[in-house]
Chain A
């Protein structure tokens, strides 16, 4: 920061104008890019195929039980039929893939196309550019997921002949929101790497490596770390419980775990806990009865806010790095 004691008034006044001027121009341009780009088209085809395949399979399975289950439409998301996994299982890795594909070259791409200095020479702040790119990514993601959501609900109604209940719609909307923020995390991760690395390919690889780490290795690592950090010395139940609790806490550092728990509680109303439950805590519970929506949301409220908080934190980190970045290549 330049020291200019002779101009104290201007220092106090701070930055001129709004940091968000030009934001919507960036959002509109980036969204247009996303929605017309070849990359997005491939992903759309992929996700539509997945939705059609899994929902068809689920419908076939569910036909027999129509009328017995009050949440039949939610089952569309979670019912699997060999050899296909359930639709939510697919979403668990399709959403990160889409998010990473949307953002891995968002910042370094501007550098490699040599458009960065030209854009920043326009009367906008860097804030608007970065937030605009992020919002465009989130909106695109939301658009794609909302479309899929409508397709699934619609085809479910046709296939099963059951109209959705208010609760089902509300639950699946919450689920949609959670899915968008789960994508938001990976969007932020990919954007962060696109700020750190100047090569888009490196950023893509780093994002995918991070995703793979949390999907595959983090669970194993948590299983290894928990006994080391919280060993069972004397075999007391408290010790065993503490170790299990620690392992669960560790796995919850992975966005995948958080998302899976949110998904379970929201789409399966009978789920009463996503953590450890002792038999004594279940005393008096009528097992197998569904929880009301508010209770299900309350159950995974920490997970839901965790997903949102992680998205914001990662974005903030990228934001700081981007503000400090030199424009010169």
Chain B
């Protein structure tokens, strides 16, 4: 992987006594899609605002594209595209006029601005509605217009705050494709969300935020290994002697927990994929295997488990 696009060192932001972001050490490499995950109020948006120089850090340092956002805000903001959550536009103006304003603020020459605006509108599928006032736009269209605006800058880094919130499933899926498209263009993407399966679908790495700290960081399989100790859920549908089958499953090397969910449905939690071993054991125990499958660890599980542990005070 390439050089670091975002680098923070002990970044801290306090609002009075409230510590919004606590000693954050974040590094994002060029070309990756990084997801910031966390419940509301965990410091996601504050972190983003500090990266853009829109909020001054209390202590610590930030580097974005090798620049300090607090000292060189114009250079940073000229290279970083930002789409806030609940992105708003001037409703009475058309999509194109909204983009022209942004192009002017970016000091783009007229012809270049015109070309980029057409290109961005076409790419986001808004070309046919470009001259309609934004007030007629649906939420999904507004988000796409938000991305079109971000693309005007030809950014090296794109920051999306809760990009899929409030979109219908179709719109959300479309949006995830847009994010994949950005990645293909070599743009580094930082997105925050609390919609886990979407983050899982597009992000190369995720950081889990909790009370202003990034408590976990890594790719989804890595996190699964850390939090769930590699929890693979193998489920089986077996007819036969219940006691013996359950016992045989328990004896499997690597099996952590065996539960009987239905009269003929069992679930084995293991650190690895035990499908083959489980099938053999069940048959040897005199059962008739009807079907089996495995569930890969999902971010939902990791998230739920992590906060469960936090509640019980076991996580560090």
Interface residues of A (CB under 8 A from B): 1-4, 7, 10-11, 13, 15-17, 21-22, 25-26, 28-29, 33, 113-115, 117-125, 326-328
Contacts and interface: CB of A to CB of B under 8 A. Distances in A.
Contacts of B73: 15-16, 123, 125
Contacts of A17: 74-75
22 contacts: A2-B57, A2-B61, A4-B61, A10-B71, A16-B71, A21-B74, A21-B107, A25-B105, A115-B90, A117-B54, A118-B82, A118-B83, A118-B84, A119-B105, A121-B52, A121-B54, A121-B80, A121-B81, A121-B82, A122-B77, A122-B106, A125-B73
Contacts of B91: 113
A327 B81 CA distance: 17
Contacts of A1: 56
Contacts of A28: 104
The 3 lowest CB-CB distance pairs between A and B, nearest first, are A114-B88, A25-B104, A121-B82
Given A122-B77, A122-B105, A124-B74, 4 more contacts: A2-B59, A3-B59, A16-B74, A118-B84
A327 B20 CA distance: 14
A17 B80 CA distance: 17
B70 interface: yes
A109 to B, nearest CB: 10
B45 A328 contact: yes
Contact of B107 (A10, A29, A114, A123): A123
B87 to A, nearest CB: 6
A119 to B, nearest CB: 7
Nearest to B54: A327
A125 to B, nearest CB: 7
Interface string B51-66: 0101111111100000
Interface string B231-251: 000000000000000000000
A33 B101 CA distance: 12
Given A22-B105, A123-B106, A118 B88 contact: yes
A interface secondary structure, majority? loop
B49 A328 contact: yes
| Most-contacted residue by chain A among B46, B68, B88 (CB, 10 A) | B88
B77 A2 contact: no
A327 B52 CA distance: 12
B70 A2 contact: yes
Nearest to B67: A16
Nearest to A11: B71
A115 to B, nearest CB: 5
A121 B84 CA distance: 9
B54 A13 contact: no
Nearest to A17: B74
A3 B60 CA distance: 8
Interface in B33-58: 45-46, 49, 52, 54-58
A284 B201 CA distance: 93
Nearest to B59: A2
Contact of A327 (B55, B57, B70): B55
A29 B54 contact: no
Contacts of A326: 55
B78 interface: yes
Contacts of A29: 101, 104
A10 B68 contact: yes
Nearest to B91: A113
A122 B57 CA distance: 19
Nearest to B98: A115
A136 to B, nearest CB: 13
Contacts of B102: 118, 122
B162 interface: no
Contacts of A117: 49, 54, 82, 84
A4 B68 CA distance: 11
B89 interface: yes
A115 B89 contact: yes
Contacts of A120: 54
B87 A118 contact: yes
A113 B88 contact: yes
Contacts of A119: 105
A21 B106 CA distance: 9
A15 B76 CA distance: 13
| Most-contacted residue by chain A among B61, B74, B91, B149 (CB, 10 A) | B74
B165 to A, nearest CB: 13
Contacts of B118: none
Nearest to A120: B54
A113 to B, nearest CB: 5
Nearest to B152: A122
Contacts of B57: 2
Contacts of A26: 105
Contacts of A3: 59
Nearest to A132: B105
A328 B55 CA distance: 9
Contacts of B61: 2, 4, 7
